[in-house]
Structure 1
Amino acid sequence: MGIGLTTLLLLAALTPLGYLAFRLGRGKALQTMASGISMHSRPQQYGWYSVVWMGLPALGVAIAAALLSVFGVIAPSRELVLIVSLVVAVLGLAQGLRAIRPEVRARNALDNVIRWLLLSAALISIITTVSIVLSIVFEAMRFFREVSVWEFVTGTVWSPGDTFLEAAGRGDEVGEGTSFFGSVPLFAGTFMVTAIAMATALPIGLLSAIFMSEYATRAQRGIAKPLLEILAGIPTVVYGFFAAITVTPIIVDIAAFFGLDASYSNILSPGIVMGIMIIPFISSLSDDVINSIPQSLREGAYALGTTHSETIKKVILPAALPGVISAFLLGVSRALGETMIVVMAAGVRPNLTWNPLEDMTTVTVNIVYSLTGDLAFDSPQTLSAFALGLVLFIVTLLLNLVSTYLVRRFKQKYD
């Protein structure tokens, strides 16, 4: 019996039991109140009180059995887990009905259960984040036992060996036995494509948000906003095709017109297309922030004789600055983690250059290539993916800290 079928059977059995527990608990409370005895809580709250007594112990048994199986302590059969859970549910239902008395504070008990459920959800998120960080840190430490941290952080050559390069189709680029793990070219490409993307997305997204919130009629907004947000739903592989097939030849032709030499795997093309992909994120968030600004600020500015454009420049944008900063850094985080567009349009060659018309690659692209090859998991080439991920995580964390500081620095409170 599969675990999915077991879960469905358990839920199918607990649903009618829960309904029965609610009816019996509520009925007992109504019967007690009908006899002239005052109850602390409402009848339906006693019904849900019985449901909690019935459901939580049964779910606890199922979760405990799953954890024991995952950690290899014991692997009870799924049929046994199902039977024991149902028996515990019936016993819990009986105990819940027996516990219903006039002095029982069912409302307070339900509030505590909800509070603990919400706390558990928050703890799951925190534990998941901590687990991700620890898994990256431990594997990165294995990599740094073989490669110097200083060499990794400051090195300007990334060529992790013939095997890895052959998997990427570039096995003839280095000699035998040479391995260099300098991450500077990878982060240079990452920051280059991010800068190009944000230089494209920020002005277009912010100006479109200003238009939709301050100038567009309701009909215009109803058409423009959904069309703009369609960009967020397009798969990144489609953007990659668009960058490689359409945007790149245009950039090459424009560069040739001005006498410049542009590679067909240049980093400018994926940067522009990535910026187009990020426009809806900045536009939607900025639009929401601008619309949340109190109308009294606009009216006060108009009363002082300012024009519409002056009000936007002097009042609306400064008030919306914290939200715009948040939208900008959300776009930066989105650009830092993008892989497919860069792979399809810019290639995989680590190249340290300031020229956006040359080919470059990013950290995430190399992480993919490190983890999808035929190398052993404990090889330096594979473990380098975790080191890159750790540094990228630190960079993203620093960006979030900077954004938090800037948002608090420019945040204004309006009565």
Structure 2
Amino acid sequence: MIYYVILVISIGIVALVIARRRAALQIQGAVKQHSRPHYHGWWAFLLATVPAILLIIVWSIGSSIYVERRIDAQLPQQAADGPIASRSLALSLVGRLADALHRLDAETLANLPSSFEELRPKLAEKGVALAPDTQDYMIPIAVEANRTGDALQMTGGVLALLLSIAGAAYGIRSIQPRARARNNVERVVRWGLLASSMIAILTTIGIVLSMLFETFYFFSSVSPLDFFFGTVWDPRFAAAGATDSVGQFGLIPLLAGTLYIAFIALLVAVPIGLMSAVYMAEYASPHVRSIVKPALELLAGIPTIVYGIFALVTLGPFLRDLSAALTGGSPFIQAQSIFTAGFVMGIMLIPVVSSLSDDIITAVPRALRDGSLGLGATRSETIKRVVLPAALPGIVGAILLTASRAIGETMIVVLAAGVAARLTLNPFEAMTTITVKIVNQLTGDLEFNSPQTLVAFALGITLFAVTLLMNIVALYIVRKYREQYE
């Protein structure tokens, strides 16, 4: 469909040029123009492109649904009557096979073998590798799916081109001296801006609803009380085809590990980041600031996996050996521990606290500083009693934003803290977090409708609720203190 979109845009550009020239020729007339020529051109462009592109999008979605239903109807009885995951797997394999067949030339497609083992070498020549679960009966279904999809794609493309040409013709013919092209263009732009602003809201709603439905499905097999108040995490991964709910899904160890590691990370990131922000905003010369601030923000560009490798290879073994040397025997700090993960995560989050706090402190009005200094206060007293209280709402927001980032971190925890779900107050032992277990539960040969997999959605919605609560607290604090200092 991308080619049809390009053709539609090309038609719109031609309509824009023609409409603009035609409107420009009418300026010399006696009737005053309501809209400038470029508005007439853009109105013709919008008429030629927007309806056609919307048709292509809707047609593509509808065609995909239709083709998928056709594939489902052609599956053999043993596949169609199997469990949901098996039928979904069969549909997925047929879809991948259909995509792979698109890469073959016409001669190969004309003499397509009926056995997948014979077809595999031909696909390998094109650099395509398919799952070994692909069956022979899927080949004719994939061929038919491609044939149907290509026919639907061509039909939709032709209809979109006809609609584009009709819109361009209407836009050009409707050019009149008093035609309100400017109002029409601005109305379309306003609706486009509204749709853009709604994308984030609708995406959030979609994410929450998708997790909620699967979470309710999980709670139909596992008691919510056992999940939210359980202290043992032992899901006991079920093999493919099993749907039993054996195991214990206690949230408390995972939630405790998440908050514990995030707390240590904040203990490292907040003091260092806040003090560096105060220094750069209040004490550093412009030359020093131009060097130190970009250098500090370079830490934010390092991938989290690199921090995790540093903790696993360097910091963790160093702390373990150091503790062994201090005690003269067995180490009291494990290579993978809460402290190691929290410390490395805190180093990663220093630029977040520093950059946000620096911008907030710099935004404090200069008049407040001058008034304090004029009354005889020192620079340090001015910072402590005037600047920081005035910037407190923004600083609190920056800290809570940093906490949300720490709660959602995964790679550092996997490599630096391990995957052991346990309850402990010792920061030198291993623990794990909610995000790590979400990855673990969605990885492996599991049935998607088993509690061992669906628990990932319950963990996800719990993590979403925690971050939402933190954001609500941040908004409350910001509004409360903003009224005091504005």
Q: How high is the TM-score relative to the length of structure 1?
A: 0.90
* Residue number in structure 1 paired with 2:354: 283
What is the percentage of aligned positions where both structures have the same residue? 47
Please identify, of 322-331 and 12-21, the stretch whose mean Cα deviation from structure 2 is larger: 12-21
Distance 1:332 1:314 in 2: 26
Map 1:94-173; keep pairs closer than 5 Å. 94-161=169-236, 163=238
Q: Deviations over 1:106-130 (max 9, x none)?
A: 2221111111111112222222211
Does the 8 A contact of 2:404 with 2:467 survive in 1?
yes
Distance 1:31 1:242, change over 3 A: same
Q: Deviations over 1:32-76 (max 9, x none)?
A: 220121011212112111111111121121112122124438956
Please identify, of 87-96 and 298-307, the stretch whose mean Cα deviation from structure 2 is larger: 298-307
Tell me by how many angstroms 1:13 deviates.
Answer: 2.2
Does the 8 A contact of 2:337 with 2:429 survive in 1?
yes
Distance 1:179 1:414, change over 3 A: closer
* Residue number in structure 1 paired with 2:83: none
* Residue number in structure 1 paired with 2:318: 250
* Residue number in structure 2 paired with 1:187: 255
Matched letter for residue 108 of structure 1:
N
The runs of 5 or more residues in structure 2 that have no matched partner are 70-148, 240-244
Tell me by how many angstroms 1:412 deviates.
Answer: 4.7
Distance 1:307 1:368, change over 3 A: same
Tell me by how many angstroms 1:28 deviates.
Answer: 2.1
Matched letter for residue 48 of structure 2:
M
* Residue number in structure 2 paired with 1:172: none
Q: Deviations over 1:208-265 (max 9, x none)?
A: 1111111111221111111111111111111011111222133334544664722222
Distance 1:383 1:373, change over 3 A: same
1:395 equivalent to 2:460? Answer no
Map 1:15-26; keep pairs closer than 5 Å. 15-26=9-20
* Residue number in structure 1 paired with 2:48: 54
Does the 8 A contact of 2:221 with 2:451 survive in 1?
yes
Matched letter for residue 450 of structure 2:
S
Task: State the SS of the aligned residue for 2:66.
Answer: coil
Distance 2:153 2:56 in 1: 9
Distance 1:186 1:139 in 2: 20
Does the 8 A contact of 2:232 with 2:249 survive in 1?
yes
Task: State the SS of the aligned residue for 2:447.
Answer: coil
Distance 1:255 1:411, change over 3 A: farther
Task: State the SS of the aligned residue for 1:62.
Answer: helix
Q: How high is the TM-score relative to the length of structure 2?
A: 0.78
Task: State the SS of the aligned residue for 2:333.
Answer: coil
* Residue number in structure 2 paired with 1:80: 155
Task: State the SS of the aligned residue for 1:91.
Answer: helix
Please identify, of 182-191 and 45-54, the stretch whose mean Cα deviation from structure 2 is larger: 45-54
Tell me by how many angstroms 1:19 deviates.
Answer: 2.7
* Residue number in structure 2 paired with 1:263: 334
Distance 1:304 1:226 in 2: 35
Tell me by how many angstroms 1:97 deviates.
Answer: 1.3
Q: Deviations over 1:346-373 (max 9, x none)?
A: 1111110111111111111111110002
The runs of 5 or more residues in structure 1 that have no matched partner are 1-5, 165-176
Tell me by how many angstroms 1:162 deviates.
Answer: 5.9
Distance 1:162 1:64 in 2: 40
Cα RMSD, aligned residues only? 2.0
Map 1:376-387; keep pairs closer than 5 Å. 376-387=447-458
Distance 2:248 2:197 in 1: 42
Does the 8 A contact of 1:319 with 1:412 survive in 2?
no
Q: How many residues align?
A: 397
* Residue number in structure 1 paired with 2:165: 90
1:323 equivalent to 2:317? Answer no
Please identify, of 13-22 and 108-117, the stretch whose mean Cα deviation from structure 2 is larger: 13-22
Matched letter for residue 149 of structure 1:
P
Task: State the SS of the aligned residue for 1:139.
Answer: helix
Matched letter for residue 385 of structure 1:
A
1:220 equivalent to 2:295? Answer no
Matched letter for residue 251 of structure 1:
L
Distance 2:213 2:6 in 1: 42
Tell me by how many angstroms 1:413 deviates.
Answer: 8.3
